[in-house]
Every structure is written in C-alpha cells, then in structure tokens.
Amino acid sequence: MHTELCRVDPEQPDPRIVARAAAVLRAGGLVAFPTETVYGLGADALNENAVRRIFEAKGRPPSNPLIVHVAGLEAARQLAADWPASAQALGETFWPGSLTLVVPKKELVPAIVTAGGPTVALRVPAHPVALALLRAASVPVAAPSANRSTRLSPTTAAHVLRDLGGRIDMILDGGPATGGLESTVLDVTTSPPRLLRPGLVTPQEIEAVIGPILRPLERPGALAVAPARSPGLMGKHYAPRAALECITGDARQRIDQLLCEGQRVGWLTFDRAVSHLDPRVTVVVMPSDAREYAAQLYARLHEVDALGVQRIVVELPPDTEEWLAIRDRLRRASAR
C-alpha cells in the first residue's frame, strides 16, 4: 500500500487536503493526523472494518480499547449511554484538550472499539488540524497513537512514516505535536472517578473541578489492577528499541559500568555541565521544566534510538505530581 504524505499548515490547514483526508476516513481508510498530544492513527469509529484495520496496522492486541475523537462536547454525549455531571464539568473545562473521559457506551459504538467492554473513551483534541479533520469527516474517529504496538508514540509525521509507512493510507503532516505525551485518561463511571493514565492535564487540575479522584500508585505492581480496566496500561509500553533504564540521581557510575561492558549508551540528564569524552556516549540534556520535558521526551528517545545505542540511561525527574505522567512513561519504557 502506498502511504500518501501531505503537509498542512498546523494553524490553518488547506481545506482541500483536509476534505481529501476526511473522504479517506469515510471510505474506511486509515489517516494519521497530528493532535496536541501525539500523532493519532484515525479510522471511522462506527465502521467496524475500518477499526479492524487500525489493529492490523499497529499489531495491537484486540483487548486494548481505542479512544474515540469527536469535534465537541455534544458529539461526545451522542456516544455515551450515561453522561455523569463530572463528565459535563470536565468537558466544559478541558475540551478541546488532552483529557480523555471513560463513560458508559451507547450501543452504536462497535464492540471492536471498546474491546468488547461497556465503556468508551472520548476526547475532543485541541489541535486545529485534528479538529478540522473531525469536522470535515463528521463521523467519530477512533485513534490510538500512530505507532506500532509497544513502540514509542510519534510526535512527528516522520516518526509515523518510519513505523507505519506502507501500512496506512495517508499522513497529515502538521509539524511536531507540541504536548508530547498522550492524554490523561480518567474513568468517570466510578465514584470517585479514577485516573487510568496520567498525562498533561494533572490530577490537581481535575480535582479543582470535580473534587478528589483515585490515582494509580507508582509502584509497577499497582499496574496489576489495570489490565481489566484499561488494558493499555500494561507494564511494557511506549518502549524504544534500545533497553532503557531509569536512575535516581547522577548516572555517571552506571554509564562507566556500561562502557566497560562495551555498550553504546544514550544518556538523558538534567545536568547542563555534563559532557562525555567517550564517543560511545550520546549525552542529551533535558529541560528542567516538566512541560518542556514532556514536549521533547519522545523526540529525544526516537533520536538516540535511531543512533543505534544499546542502552538508554535516563535520570529520573523528581517524584512530584507535575512529573507524574513523565515518570509513568519512563517506567513503562523501562519495563522489559
């Protein structure tokens, strides 16, 4: 299959190109598009065969349900059998934006989208290209991150092309995804609501609107509760090809040890003064601001991975809530 790559202006995408992408979706095809979190791989959520193609292209297990993207709050409600007051308040506050709400599904949502479950995950993305595509398609669009299953999420069209070129119909290239981490997923079918995946919308921001929510604990064992509720929260996920390990504090000793073992290493550090004379070490200095770090993380991991290093050593950010989503992704990337 030929994958058509189309450049569009991130703020004001050419309506003719958007209309073509929308026609591909309505005909049951697969279109990758930028969102403000990461690139998504879209299909008409109400077309079972189209959605099946997402699972095939990604190599995604059918037990892992998809997020359905819509153009606005009203369109979201159309897919929900029940719309809790918390969903209304959160939708009004954070949509369009990087919060996904899990609610009871209406019958018209095919079982393949929800992995056979009674709930559906809904999100209104904020990226102008995503919104334009959703409006033009005028169907709900199921879209997981546009990467092969278990690989790193893509934050550029080039990442998508590398992973899924030849397997999908079209990629809308709207430049880098600025948020850089997948959306926050919140289950509002329970009381109190439960955070299933931390993201750029923080627990405090959610609690400021609806009061206390349940958070996942950080130990890996805590993820054991996840598969039934949210299969995508299984331990190993979002991983680069190279083995990734997280280090608390200065990683220098560990780097030297890996060099002694003859490994080529990528080193993500906070220390601007770090340099390494050994050519087998690629040093990447990461921002100390959590939002900037999130925006860059996947792109930097894609880069060092492409250099063919065998190990990626990452200095863990602080154990505070602003770093929650980043620590979550790093922990998953290091699960083997």
For residue 86, the partner it binds in Mg ion, ligand TXA, none, with Cβ less than 5 to 8 A by kind, is: none
Residues 206-245 that bind ligand TXA (CB under 6 A): 229-233
C-beta of 38 vs 139, nearer to Mg ion: 38
The tokens for 164 are 């899924």
For residue 184, the partner it binds in Mg ion, ligand TXA, none, with Cβ less than 5 to 8 A by kind, is: none
145 binds Mg ion (CB under 5 A): yes
Residue with the CB atom nearest Mg ion in the bound state: 145
Cα 324 to chain centroid distance, Å, stands at 15
| Range in contact with ligand TXA (rule: CB under 6 A) among 181-189, 209-217, 274-282, 319-327 | 181-189
Give the neighbor-by-neighbor strand order of the sheet with 243-247: 243-247, 311-315, 265-269, 281-285
Q: Is the alpha carbon torsion for 271, 272, 278, 284 positive or negative?
A: positive
334 binds ligand TXA (CB under 6 A): no
Is-contact 43 32, C-beta < 8 A?
Answer: no
Q: How far is CA 86 from CA 16, 50, 89, 95, 192, in A?
A: 38, 31, 5, 13, 10
Give the neighbor-by-neighbor strand order of the sheet with 119-123: 4-7, 170-173, 31-34, 39-44, 141-142, 67-69, 119-123, 99-104, 184-187, 194-197
For residue 28, the partner it binds in ligand TXA, Mg ion, none, with Cβ less than 5 to 8 A by kind, is: none
Q: How far is the CB of 182 from ligand TXA (least distance, A)?
A: 4
Residues 119-148 that bind ligand TXA (CB under 6 A): 119-121, 123, 125, 143-145
Single out the residue of 21, 90, 99, 102 in contact with ligand TXA (rule: CB under 6 A): 102
| Range in contact with Mg ion (rule: CB under 5 A) among 50-58, 142-150, 171-179, 274-282 | 142-150
C-beta of 98 vs 145, nearer to Mg ion: 145
Single out the residue of 110, 117, 216, 317 in contact with ligand TXA (rule: CB under 6 A): 117
Gap between the Cα atoms of 131 and 252, Å rounded: 45
Single out the residue of 79, 87, 172, 196 in contact with ligand TXA (rule: CB under 6 A): 196
Gap between the Cα atoms of 68 and 38, Å rounded: 15
Cα 138 to chain centroid distance, Å, stands at 23
Q: Catalog residues that contact Mg ion under the rule CB under 5 A.
A: 145
